Amino acid sequence: MTSAASLWAGVVAIGIYHGLNPAMGWPLAVAHGLERRRGTAVFGTWIPLGVGHVLAMAIVLVPFALLAWMLEWSREIRVAAGAIVLGFGVLRLFWQRHPRALARIPPTQLTLWSFLMATAHGAALMLVPVLMGLCATPPPASAGPLAHDAMMGLMRNGAATALTVSALHTVAMIGSGLAVAWIVYRYLGLRALRGAWIDLDRVWAIGLIASGGVAIAMAV
């Protein structure tokens, strides 16, 4: 597998992990299906959840991608990005409480809830090291600084890559989350869900720390 293929596989793997994490919303899909007493309600819930998640990814990844043209010359930017991811992971490791404002969002506003939940958990930060690897474009052969057109081209390509990463990641997230939600709705029910709840917040924090460490190692 090529380096680029490995990075894209990482995008999908992180998406699957996010979908399996209850914090990203699959229990809401189960509850919605049980409330409406039909399986289509489980599927329909993932449309607003997915929209909110992809927006949360893009709003973080696109600004990093727009700096892709600088990555070959500015190791400090990559180290700083890795430090941000690592630091947020440490924060989540020792401070795992969810913002109280999220509890005040009504169930009808699933897109807003998904966006704020993914943002509060730093979900997009896990993808930053992968995105930076995909956007690492070697500079042109000319010794001077990049021409304006070339620089704008790299920035456009970086933004397009960030949007593609956000979309592919969210598709993987929806697929894995929907699979879990359907199994719980169809076969297990909320009683089994309460008895088998798994808290992934600590694993999430460790994942952030690992992502930050990878970003710093890649830069150094």
* pLDDT tens digits along 92-147: 777 766 556 555 666 568 898 889 888 887 888 888 888 877 876 555 544 445 55
Q: Give the per-residue pLDDT at 136.
A: 64
Q: Give the domain ranges of the chain.
A: 3-137+145-219
The 3-state DSSP class for residue 197 equals coil
> Model confidence at 187, in pLDDT bands (50, 70, 90)?
confident
The C-alpha atoms of residue 167 and residue 105 are separated, in whole angstroms, by: 25
Name the nearest CA neighbour of 178 among 6, 45, 9, 7: 45
158 burial (CB, 10 Å; 0-12 / 13-18 / 19+) is buried
pLDDT in tens, 51-95: 999 999 999 999 888 776 565 555 677 777 778 888 888 887 777
The C-alpha atoms of residue 178 and residue 95 are separated, in whole angstroms, by: 28
Name the nearest CA neighbour of 60 among 166, 216, 214, 211: 166
Would you say the C-alpha torsion 27, 16, 166, 64 has a positive or negative sign?
A: positive
Question: Do residues 49 and 114 lie in contact, with contact meaning Cβ atoms separated by under 8 Å?
Answer: yes
- Give me the amino acid identity at 66: L
List the structure tokens of 152.
Answer: 């704008």
The C-alpha atoms of residue 174 and residue 169 are separated, in whole angstroms, by: 9
pLDDT in tens, 142-178: 444 555 566 566 667 878 889 999 999 999 999 999 9
Question: Do residues 24 and 173 lie in contact, with contact meaning Cβ atoms separated by under 8 Å?
Answer: yes
Question: Do residues 178 and 43 lie in contact, with contact meaning Cβ atoms separated by under 8 Å?
Answer: yes
Q: Mean of the pLDDT values across residues 38-49?
A: 88
The C-alpha atoms of residue 120 and residue 14 are separated, in whole angstroms, by: 17
HEC per residue, 60-105: HHHHHHHCHHHCCCCHHHHHHHHHHHHHHHHHHHHCCCCCHHHHHC
Q: What is the mean pLDDT of the chain?
A: 78
List the structure tokens of 123.
Answer: 């979900």
